[in-house]
Amino acid sequence: MNKEDPIGIFDSGIGGLTVANAVSKQLPNEQIIYFGDTTHLPYGDKSTEAIQHYSLHIADFLLGKRCKLILIACNTASAAAFDIVKTHIGDKVPVMNVIDPVVEAVAANTSINKIGIIGTKGTIKSGVYEHKLKTLRPDLESVSLATALLASMIEAGFYNNSVSQAVINSYLAYPDFSDIDGMILACTHYPLIEKEISSYFNHHVKIFESTNIVATRVKEKLAELNIMNDERRNTHHFFVSDFTESFEQTTKLFFQEKIHLEHFGIWDE
Ligand code: DGL
């Protein structure tokens, strides 16, 4: 692992760009190699075995690009495949996910007694957040709900408008959420609807979204291993397994600027 090597970030598609954006802002000297598995998106409905298979292959691709750290910037893949990817990569490079940093932040916040969790079907069905929270904060009550429509709604550009607010309201009216004091946005698309979620709860519920929490943790990890880049030398690369114009245009929603997507046929061999 060299300081000049890039950070590898992957997701089922383009939602993970919210995390890549936060990493890029907090670590401006780092080069990012991003991989979005647009061939298989959405991961939310896929089996654990399928997501593990995809994730292992993508992790090998990032390792082949000499990445010094691999970040799984997808909650669904973090839930299904973090352990297997970590075991597979061994001590070659550190592997991080978007779940643990958020769980630790929630557990450390002693003013939270009941937390709500929303995410894809895969993430919610795995129970990973509840399980990890129970270990760190046994007294914390958690309630979760799969909000399957939200990721595709956001990708279609529906956020901060009356349609998105109606969909969000109907999910958040879930009775178990009536007395929560915190909410985890357990999907990399959801930072775009953070304001709408917060306003549904009249801003009385603390919202935990992963992007900045995770970027800070990546920064700490690089510092701890003494592999932070001193000087920016190379531009980011954003690869996708299936390229469309529409994906490229949608990147702006998640990365705040339009970026160029490069097609890499990882599944073509
Ligand atoms: N990026 C995924 C996540 O954070 C959501 C989209 C998908 O289902 O692939 O869970």
Distances in Å between the Cα of 146 and the Cα atoms of 31, 38, 43, 81, 173 are 34, 21, 13, 19, 13
248 is a domain residue: yes
Q: Whose CA is closest to atom 2 on ligand 1?
A: 74
Res. 134 pLDDT band, cuts 50 70 90: very high
**Same structural domain for residues 82 and 121?**
no
pLDDT grade for 232, boundaries at 50, 70 and 90: confident
Rounded to the nearest whole angstrom, what is the distance from the C-alpha of residue 14 to the centroid of ligand 1? 9
Tally of domains in the chain: 2
Judge whether 2 lies within some domain.
no
Which residues constitute the domain of residue 59? 7-98+212-268
Whether residues 108 and 177 fall in one domain? yes
Q: How far apart are CA 253 and CA 81, in angstroms?
A: 26
Q: What is the pLDDT of residues 146-191, one digit of tens each?
A: 999 999 999 889 999 999 999 999 999 999 999 999 999 999 999 9
* In a domain? residue 264: yes
1 assigned to some structural domain = no
Please give the Cα distance from 121 to 99 (Å, whole number). Answer: 15
Rounded distance between C-alpha atoms, residue 145 and residue 231, angstroms: 43
Task: Report CA(183)–ligand 1 centroid distance (Å).
Answer: 17
Q: Give me the CATH number covering residue 181.
A: 3.40.50.1860
The answer to whether position 52 is within a domain reads yes
Report if residue 191 sits inside a domain. Answer: yes
Residue 75 near residue 119, CB atoms below 8 Å: yes
For 234, residues 6+ apart whose C-beta sits below 8 A from its C-beta are 4, 6, 31
Residues 116 and 180 placed together within one structural domain of the fold: yes
Query: What is the Å distance from ligand 1's center to 226 Cα?
Result: 31
For the annotated catalytic residues, the residue numbers are: 74, 187
Examine residue 126 and state whether it is found in any structural domain, yes or no: yes
